Amino acid sequence: MSHSTPPASEPNSTSTMPEQPGVLVVKKHHLLVRWSHWLNVPILLGLILSGTSIYWASPVYQHKPDPNTANFDVAADIGTWLCAHLPGLHHYSSPPDWIYNHMSLGPGMLALALRLHWLCAYSFMLNGMVYIAGLVMGGGWRSLLPRRTDLFDALRMLRYYLGVPFAKLIHREWLHPRFNSKYNALQRAAYFSVPVAGFLSVTTGWAIHKPMQLHWLAALFGGFDAARVWHFWLMWLFIFFVVPHVILVFADGWDTLRSMIVGWSTRVKRTEPIANER
């Protein structure tokens, strides 16, 4: 990356070069936001893997036991189907365990999974507090709040995303909508709902974990059994968020990825230049 800049702007060893051109950089993410963002990667991975191992012990989605295999777990059915239909999986040793062997710590390890799940869950809650502290200290929370124009702007962004492949195909210019804010409406919706989903994951988690002492919390989600369903689908919300999130970051380029590591971005919005008011 360091060789991408033209040689003209290479820092000179002599400190008496007055023409040294500077770059304008903008501080995008507070240190605590960056730290908690990256810590979420191993924590959420640990929560999903151990959580799916816990799910194995009593699946949310069951059917009447199959007369031949006695299987009642829909996830096991999916594994069996995958192994029967995907090339290369025909000789998989235990098709019903395929999902649990690939999306969890493994079947039949409830105790170990629970222990890891509590460890990750407490880390996730602490990390969430660090994230909120970073949002408050850096003032970044304001950029996440929904706005009145968001629905219209989100549609503009959707139109843009849907048009990109077509425009690429016919070599037509297809301009990204311009926004005068840190995030566009779709980003804002995503970055606002993911912390909300995190909060709901924690609260549904407590409702499942302590359904007697916190029975009011379980009742809020429709009772103990319903809270498990909520908790399960909130996991999928994270997965559905992460996939386009990672794709779009790489599509957007190094500057965006760097801003979450280093904090600085060289993409300074020039919609309101300094000269205007000086």
Please identify which residue in 81, 118, 161, 240 interacts with other proteins, judged by CB under 8 A.
Answer: 118
Nearer to other proteins, 89 or 112 (CB): 112
Span interacting with other proteins, options 84-92, 165-173, 204-212, 242-250, rule CB under 8 A: 204-212
Three-state secondary structure call for residue 85: helix
Q: How many CB atoms lie within 10 A of CB 230?
A: 19
Instruction: Output the CA torsion sign for 171, 167, 243, 151.
Output: positive
Nearest to 117 by CA among 193, 37, 176, 56: 56
DSSP 270: -
Backbone angles phi, psi at 223, to 5 degrees: 100, 170
Q: Which residue, 68 or 271, is less far from other proteins as judged by CB?
A: 271
Are residues 74 and 64 in contact, defined by beta-carbon separation less than 8 angstroms? no
Query: Nearer Cβ to other proteins, position 173 or 277?
Result: 277
101 sits near other proteins (criterion: CB under 8 A): yes
Nearest to 107 by CA among 70, 64, 54, 65: 54
- Does residue number 193 form part of the binding site for other proteins (CB under 8 A)? no
Letters for 142-171 (x = contact with other proteins by CB under 8 A, - = none) are xx-x--------------------------
Chosen residue from 85, 93, 173, 276 binding other proteins by CB under 8 A: 276
109 binds other proteins (CB under 8 A): yes
**What's the closest the beta carbon of residue 155 comes to other proteins, in angstroms?**
21
